[in-house]
Chain A
């Protein structure tokens, strides 16, 4: 890894790590009476380890110029390994909190283990740890290949990847200590947020620098989506996290927004995090790995354009459907609902485009669990976007809002769409990255597929039942005109579904563990395969029969 860095890059890496260590030191000093000091120590320790790692290989022989004839894939490799580590942790914590809902006493009486603290550990680990690392890793991979350009330098990608993982680590350790700004999916406090801004802007600049070096005249669809993902997430993150810390030495901060403005900003953020983190980024992944694995051209370039601009334009307006029947002025709710409805068309155009791409390759879908992961992801994407638009309708929302239906909807998207496309892409990408003939065990992929599908279906059905039962109980009146059920009554009714949900989650977790094991064993497989098609920036002839990009 470090041997690939030139001497000057090693120096830069050490200087950057030293600067971060210093920053951590200042945080220890300023936050010595606060939990922020613990995070300062964590930051310092992480950067000092990094300095020692680089220092240990400082005098290693410099890399050969030959490296520039290949894509720079080391960050993608590490990103995928990190992604698989986060998914095991994130799913395990998720299933644990699902069992906590079945039995609320599973807390050992300790603050860190309470549902309120562990639940964001789950969401952050799976969305940002698993999803984010997979997005960063695959975006580097796809960007270089579809641009036929190597990443411009060898330090920035590492800064982005490790910096991002430091953010995730600060976030989840903070939650367990009770550091949170209580904004869903934006829980980390101000200094962690600021750190992510630095990392994320660097990521965006790195993306632009690579694109500027591209040797292809056109920018491939995947890159539109990855760019939208990076750009809009930066925008959302910065605006929603505007806050004033109580002092420079304290973790606690107060939001710049209050009341209904705060709610609207939060859900503008929250819904567009779904749109641009959990949709746009993963569509970028799907637009590359699905046609690549299927060996088919994208069904329609024109549909790609319509869906991309439709999705980016309509999503921006949809956030207020999270605040139907609240203090938010009704006109804002109307706009949220109508734009959510219109959003369905480009969403389905996207899903249709990728599923129609499989025409002519359905035999592969049948035989190849990796491609099947991606196909099912496309189906769940279509189902979830339909459900989302449906739930945005006021009258439907009056039943579904605040119930488990929402949880079911989110997991249809997160498990069925986001996780499935990621697992499919990782299974496709790992042998290409590590130059292996194939994954260690296709049987394990097959097992993973069925566990993931069964887990998702059980989860989603359990939550549909639970949510609709809950919603109906809340609105049932006695003849005398008073509510028929207390909140406790609804919990009793939901208990069996909670057990089913936790079982579904357990299946999904077992699948994730199989995936991590399979990836690990593939990396450890001996021997290398030939370069994957189009795996070299230059038009060098690797051998007969390998298709090369034609200009």
Chain B
């Protein structure tokens, strides 16, 4: 080119549009063909998709699509298929008794797999992912069951809950012996020392006379629920005080706090939230997870 056009960009060779905004210019480069190609491709794909699938509204209805696909029907069908596929074993768990299921290794494999997910999604928030509980929530891997450890008992507890809204709920309350002035402060301390000594027989920092005094107070106030041997009563949800498992903590201070202020735990009812099958799987899962007695 003999004469350079003033609006020609030296680098690309394209002309500018001839406008300028405070030093900014734009080139008049044509739109690359490939852009139209992909735009057409995307549009054609969309048209194809609209023809095959539900797509455009038509007043009170819509174009249903040639494939006749409906997401609700698809979900319903796949749920039905899944239920059918599972029915091979779900029917057996629903109908057979606990002992029969427990003795079937194949069924118990399913119980362990499925129970793990059910427990994680419904129970782990309180009882922990490993079912070992935490302050205020019982450890479920021990043999120390508040409301009985037989499968039937566990199944029932899951169904009705503890201090829950269910009409048949387990009801349990540990009175606030100190706060409600059923025992003077000194007696609370004495009985707490006695209770502490039950699970810590070797504790040598405890005065035998104080323990004897505590034992007398225990006999007068606590045996109705916890029993003369302090081993608890699953009928009342009263915990065993002689073992090493504690809901709220087995150190002296926590025992003292418990006797002083009382306790009332809560577990929801699962009857309306989990199917009978799920609750039965959970029961079997927990009973299976239990650490064998020492």
Contacts and interface: CB of A to CB of B under 8 A. Distances in A.
Given A302-B30, A482-B114, A482-B117, A331 B21 contact: no
B53 A145 contact: no
Contacts of B118: 486
A338 B50 contact: yes
Interface stretch (B81-89, B183-191, B260-268): B81-89
B110 A549 contact: no
Interface stretch (A155-163, A215-223, A444-452): A215-223
A67 B62 CA distance: 61
B32 to A, nearest CB: 8
A483 B117 contact: yes
Contact of B55 (A220, A306, A334): A334
A204 interface: no
Contacts of B54: 329-331, 334
A550 B22 CA distance: 9
Interface of B is mostly: mixed
Given A331-B55, A338-B49, A485 B117 contact: yes
Interface string A298-339: 111111101000100000000000000100011101110111
A484 B117 CA distance: 6
B270 interface: no
A338 B124 CA distance: 41
Contacts of A534: 21-23
A483 B124 CA distance: 16
A220 B24 CA distance: 9
Contacts of A310: 39
B221 interface: no
A343 to B, nearest CB: 9
Contacts of B116: 486
A18 to B, nearest CB: 38
Contacts of B35: 303, 306, 345, 349
Interface string A80-99: 00000000000000000000
A246 interface: no
Interface of A: 145-146, 148, 216-218, 220-221, 288, 291-292, 296-304, 306, 310, 325, 329-331, 333-335, 337-339, 341-342, 344-346, 349, 352, 359-360, 478, 480-489, 492, 533-535, 547, 549-550
6 contacts: A146-B24, A301-B17, A310-B39, A331-B62, A331-B63, A485-B120
Interface of B: 9, 11-12, 16-17, 19-32, 35, 38-39, 42-43, 45-46, 49-50, 53-57, 62-63, 65, 69-71, 82, 85-86, 89, 109-110, 113-114, 116-121, 124, 129
Given A331-B54, A331-B63, A480-B114, 13 more contacts: A301-B17, A302-B29, A302-B31, A303-B32, A306-B31, A330-B71, A331-B53, A334-B53, A359-B12, A480-B109, A485-B117, A487-B121, A489-B129
